[in-house]
């Protein structure tokens, strides 16, 4: 049941942590996307917070992307656009957030999850945190999540990921600038995340906010851009190719 998905919030020593969990490999249904967006907006203006940690729970994927349960229920363009706008709104809330966002990536990242990580300001990961953009296999494409990914690794590497749908190792992600560092164990990862968060929490909030603005310069048009991308995905999700893929997927789940 999608209702099993949860988001847990903690605040301590000027550090806010947003932790999400869903039993289906930490996929993100719409209500979780909305709640995460609202939390980034809330912490953005919270004077007691200097830095935000984004993490997920469990020993499976960091994030499997969009909820297939919801994708299977889309029946018209309006529903399709709204489905993809969930990710658009979350990404925009993260880039507009006045606080530095640290990504704590413990395992594999797929589809929309790759865009989620790309929207953090500083991502640390384990060697298990490989990446894959799988949207083209569905007859779609990484349209909404494309801008933050391209911003991180450049158009050439984004093109390759989008077209071949293959897994990329965590070391590749580090060399490409997607991850800032990679660790062998989650214990090492947690030490690094904590050390960075505590260091940033002690810095000038005005200086951090100014840096955040510089980091995300030239993205002011993303409100319109990501909505256009969501509209494109909303149309494509109704295509014969994608409907057949989803029907085949649904039948496999039944068997």
pLDDT tens sequence across 201-227: 999 999 999 999 999 999 999 999 999
Q: What pLDDT, on the 0 to 100 scale, is given for residue 243?
A: 87
Q: Mind listing the pLDDT tens digit for each residue in 126-156? A: 999 999 999 999 999 999 999 999 999 999 9
- pLDDT band at residue 240 using 50, 70 and 90 as cut-offs: very high
pLDDT at 145: 98
Instruction: Say which residues have a Cβ less than 8 Å from residue 153's Cβ, sequence separation at least 6.
Output: 161, 176, 177, 178
Percentage of the residues of the chain whose pLDDT score is greater than 90: 92
Percent of the chain with pLDDT over 70: 97
pLDDT at 235: 96
Question: In the chain, what are the domains?
Answer: 2-185 (3.90.226.10)
pLDDT of residue 17: 98
Mean pLDDT of the chain: 95
Which of 57-61, 79-83, 192-196, 244-248 is predicted with the least confidence, judged by mean pLDDT?
244-248
What is the pLDDT, as a whole number, of residue 249?
74
Q: Is 176:157 a contact under the CB 8 Å cutoff? A: yes
pTM score of the predicted model = 0.96
Please state, in angstroms and rounded to a whole number, the distance separating the CA atoms of residues 111 and 175: 20
CA distances from 14 to 11, 26, 200, 210 (A): 7, 26, 9, 18
Spatial distance between the Cα atoms of 145 and 118, rounded to a whole number of angstroms: 8
Per-residue pLDDT tens digits for 172-205: 999 999 999 999 999 999 999 999 999 999 999 9
The pLDDT assigned to 3 comes to 58
**DSSP character for 201?**
H
């Amino acid at each position: 049941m999608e209702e099993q998905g949860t988001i847990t919030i903690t605040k301590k020593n000027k550090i806010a942590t947003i932790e999400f969990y869903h039993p289906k490999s930490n996929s993100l249904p719409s209500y979780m996307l909305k709640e995460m967006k609202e939390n980034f907006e809330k912490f953005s203006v919270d004077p007691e917070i200097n830095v935000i940690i984004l993490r997920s729970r469990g020993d499976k994927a960091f994030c499997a992307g969009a909820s297939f349960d919801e994708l299977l229920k889309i029946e018209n363009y309006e529903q399709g656009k709204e489905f993809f706008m969930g990710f658009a709104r979350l990404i925009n809330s993260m880039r507009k957030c006045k606080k530095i966002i640290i990504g704590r990536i413990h395992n594999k990242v797929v589809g929309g999850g790759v865009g989620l990580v790309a929207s953090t300001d500083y991502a640390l990961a384990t060697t298990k945190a490989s990446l894959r953009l799988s949207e083209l296999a569905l007859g779609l494409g990484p349209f909404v999540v494309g801008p933050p990914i391209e911003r991180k690794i450049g158009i050439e590497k984004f093109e390759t990921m989008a077209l071949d749908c293959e897994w990329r190792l965590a070391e590749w992600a580090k060399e490409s600038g997607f991850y800032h560092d990679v660790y062998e164990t989650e214990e090492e990862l947690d030490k690094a995340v904590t050390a960075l968060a505590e260091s940033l929490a002690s810095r000038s909030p005005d200086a951090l906010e100014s840096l955040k603005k510089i980091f995300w310069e030239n993205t002011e048009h993303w409100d319109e851009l990501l909505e256009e991308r969501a509209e494109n995905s909303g149309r494509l999700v109704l295509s014969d190719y994608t409907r057949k893929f989803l029907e085949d997927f649904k039948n496999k789940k039944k068997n």
